[in-house]
Structure formats: C-alpha cells, structure tokens
Amino acid sequence: MDAEAAKVLGAGLAAIGAGIAALGVGNVFAAFLEGALRNPGAADGQQGRLFIGFAAAELLGLLAFVIAMILVFVA
Amino acid sequence: MAESGKIDPMHQFTIEPLFGTDHLAIGGYNIAFTNSALYMVAAALVLWIFVLGGMKRALVPGRWQVAVEYFTGFINNLLLANVGEGGKKYVPYVFSLFMFILLANFLGMLPLGLVGLHPFTFTSHFTATGVLAIMSFAIVLIVGFAKHGFHFFSLFIPHGTPAPMIPVIFPIELISFMVRPFSLGLRLFVAMTAGHVLLKVLAGFVINSSNAGVGYGLTVGTASFVLMIGISALEMLVAVIQAYVFALLTSVYINDAENLH
C-alpha cells in the first residue's frame, strides 16, 4: 500500500476512537442523570465527580484526534 | 486562499512575531513578541482589570464585586470540597489558573476577524497548556515532598493492597501519576484545537459552496452556516468546561499531595 494512503486511512480509523469516546461521555452523563433523578438532593454534591468522569472518558477521544492530526500533518 | 478552493484549517494556529521583533534574541534563543504572547498579555490584563474592579470590599457589593466574588467563591468551594481546610492556601493559584484559561479560551473566540484582526487562542498550543500543567504538577510534587517527605511514595500503594501485589500495583500507580501533566495539558490543548479546526472547516464549506454557485451556496452554505452558529455555542460551553476541568483536576491532584490518601 502507498504510504500516503496508509496515513490517511489510519487517520480515518482514528476517528472510530472519537466516536467510541462519545459513547463513553454519553454513558457518564446518562448514569449521572439516572442517579440524580432518583436522589436529587445528593446530585449537587457529586458534580465534581461527574466532571472527573467526563474528563477521563473525553481524554481518549481527544487522544484519537491527536493521532489523526499527527498522521495527517506530521508523519 | 479562496481562489484555489482549498482553505487550510491549521493556518489559524500559526505563531507570528509582531511589531518587528522577529530577531530579538537572548543567548541565541529567539524571544520575539508573538501573537501568542500578545493574547497571553491580553488575558492577564483583562483578568487584572476584572479582579481590580471587584476589590472594593464594599459592605453592600456592586455588580462588579458580586461577579468577582462569585468566581472566587466558586473556586473556594471547589477546593473546600476536594482538598478540605488545607486547600484554602491554593485558592489564589487555582483562581488565577481558572480565570486565565477561561479568558484565554474566550478571547480566542472573539469575532475580531470582522475588523481584520486575527484572533488567536494560545490554549490551542501544547507549549502553553503544557507549561500550565507542569506548574500544577510541580506544586503537587513540591508540596507532597515538603509535607510528607519520602512518605509521599505511599501514594503509589493504595490502602489495603496485599503485600504480593505491591510490585505490580506500584509501577501502575507510578505511571498513572507521571502521565498526569501530559493528560492535563493535552486535554485543554486538543479540545480547543479540535473546536477551532471544526469551525474553520465549516467556514471553508460556506466559502467554497458560495463560490461554486448560488444553488450550492443556498443549500450547502446555509446549512453549514447554521451548523457553525450551533458549534460556536458548543465551543463556548467547551471553553468553560475545559477551564473548569483543568481547575478541578488540579485541585484533585493537590488533594493527593496535601492528604495522601
């Protein structure tokens, strides 16, 4: 396979990671809402943990984006 | 740019020396005053003016003072919830960090292109966010070792780890600790970069489809433009969330240094 084609294909494949990270972020907020609607009184105290979970899940999607950018512009 | 029909979405991240300081150097290192530096100065200046206007300490606060006290109170609560009483002394640092990143993200999104200027988001460069992350990480290391000495290494062995598991757990925890400054800086940098690239790609759709003809301009161009407005609103949300996440993770890491486990 042509090296240039392999790079672009790899960047496209990295986009799968971004999509799966979206599932993860959706899961974090879905689980939070589910818990928060059952016990609204405890919801405000857990917002910090919500965003820690969000940041951890989001990071992998961002890493997928970095891989795509490196493949397209640097490699 | 427009004549070739190819719009480079990465061009907005170019760092350019300003005011003829291209060859300013100290000891062989170029220290030109760049557009990145200009926006850092602007962010620091806006933050300084913002806080200065709210330091009147009036008994009945005006609007400005309430705005400043809202932000300081927000950071104060953040540190109180994550670090406890010992977190009070980090309020100035985390407040400056949060506001600096927040203002940087927003200054880079100002529609200054309308008057011919080039807005620049310096948080979309890993050099800038990396230094901010290293600052937070250095505080964690310095406080951790100054306060607990070599007992700080017990951070890498969670409570109740069975003795045979320690050789396995220790390297895993050590790696997860050492990766923190990278993930902290990378998160902010990539989130800002991705959003700005997306906006410029959509802007390229609008320009290219309008150039291709009225029919394309009305269908593709209008749809892309509406999408751009929505994405811009999303970008503002991301700007706030990323600044908040940076401050939140910094306070979580400071908690490790302050209280171990």
At B61-90, the pLDDT tens digits run: 888 888 888 888 889 988 888 888 888 888
Q: B243 and chain A: CB distance < 8 Å anywhere?
A: no
Does residue B185 register a pLDDT over 50? yes
**For residue B190, what are the CA distances in angstroms to A14, A62, A69, B116, B242?**
14, 6, 10, 26, 10
Which residues on chain A place their C-beta less than 8 Å from a C-beta of chain B? 45, 48, 51-52, 54-55, 58-59, 62-63, 65-66, 69, 73
The pLDDT score that the predictor gives to residue B26 is 76
B57, B62, B68, B71: CA torsion to nearest 10: 110
Q: What is the mean pLDDT of chain B?
A: 85
**pLDDT at res. B2:** 44
CB distance B94 to B251 below 8 Å: yes
Chain B residues with beta carbon closer than 8 angstroms to that of A65: 190, 193-194
Residues of A in contact with B78 (CB under 8 A): 48
Q: Of A45, A48, A63, which is closest to B248 when you measure between CB atoms? A: A48
Q: Identify the pLDDT of residue B161.
A: 80
Per the DSSP assignment, residues forming a β-bridge with B29 are: B26
Contacting residues of A for B179, CB less than 8 Å apart: none
Give me the interface pTM, i.e. the ipTM. Answer: 0.77
Of B126, B140, B155, the residue nearest B36 (C-alpha): B126
- What's phi and psi for B17, nearest 5 deg? -70, 140
Burial class (CB in 10 A: 0-12, 13-18, 19+), B27: exposed
Q: Is the pLDDT at B5 greater than 60, yes or no?
A: no
- Which of the four pLDDT bands, split at 50, 70 and 90, describes residue B135? very high
Name the helix (H) or strand (E) containing A75: none
Which neighbouring-strand residues pair with B17? B34
**In terms of pLDDT, which residue wins out, B135 or B119?**
B135
> Which of the following CATH numbers is that of domain A3-74: 1.10.287.610, 2.120.10.30, 1.20.20.10, 1.10.10.10?
1.20.20.10
Question: For residue B4, is pLDDT > 60?
Answer: no
Confidence label for B6 from pLDDT (cuts 50, 70 and 90): low
pLDDT in tens, chain A (75 residues): 788 888 889 989 988 988 999 999 999 999 999 999 998 888 888 888 888 888 888 888 888 988 888 888 877
Give which of B183, B237, B246, B250 to mutate to test A binding, by max A Cβ within 10 Å.
B183
CA dist list (Å): B86 to B92, B172, B180, B258: 13, 28, 22, 7
CB-CB under 8 Å, A63 with B190: yes
Asked if the C-beta of B249 comes within 8 angstroms of chain A's C-beta atoms, the answer is yes
Q: What is the pLDDT of residue B1?
A: 40
Our CA-based measurement puts residue B218 at a distance from the nearest CA of chain A, in whole angstroms, of: 29
pLDDT of B134 > 60? The answer is yes
- Do B171 and B204 contact (CB within 8 A), yes or no? no
Q: Do A62 and B190 touch (CB under 8 A)?
A: yes
Question: What's the pLDDT score for residue A25?
Answer: 92
pLDDT digits (tens, 9 = 90+) for B42-53: 899 999 999 888
- pLDDT, tens digit, for every residue of B231-241? 999 889 989 99
CA dist B137 to A61, B140, B177, Å?
A: 23, 5, 10
Instruction: Tell me, yes or no, if B255 comes closer than 8 A to chain A by beta carbon.
Output: no
DSSP characters for chain B? -GGGT---TTGGG---B-TT-TT-EETTEE---BHHHHHHHHHHHHHHHHHHHTTT--SS--HHHHHHHHHHHHHHHHHHHHT-GGGGGGHHHHHHHHHHHHHHHHHTTS-GGGGT-----GGGSHHHHHHHHHHHHHHHHHHHHHHHGGGGGGGGS-TT--GGGHHHHHHHHHHHHHTHHHHHHHHHHHHHHHHHHHHHHHHHHHHHHHHH-HHHIIIIIHHHHHHHHHHHHHHHHHHHHHHHHHHHHHHHHHHHHHH--
State whether B245 and A54 contact (CB < 8 Å): yes
Two structure tokens written together for A27: 């899961």
- Give helix A47-69 / helix B63-82 axis angle, nearest 10°: 90
Task: Report whether pLDDT(B12) > 50.
Answer: yes
CB atoms A55 and B82 under 8 Å: no
Residue B177 and residue B156 in contact, taking contact as beta carbons nearer than 8 Å: yes
Write down the pLDDT at residue A51.
87
pLDDT at B138 exceeding the cut of 70:
yes
Using CB atoms, which residue from A54, A59, A73 is nearest to B183? A59
* pLDDT of amino acid B261: 67
| pLDDT at residue B113, as a whole number | 75
The answer to whether the CB atoms of B81 and A58 lie below 8 A apart is: no
Partners of residue A71 in chain B, C-beta under 8 Å: none
Q: What's the one-letter identity of residue A33? A: L
B216 or A33, greater pLDDT: A33
Interface contacts A/B by beta carbons within 8 Å:
37
Q: Where are the domains of chain A?
A: 3-74
CA distances from B147 to B76, B78, B140, B256, B257 (A): 22, 22, 10, 11, 8
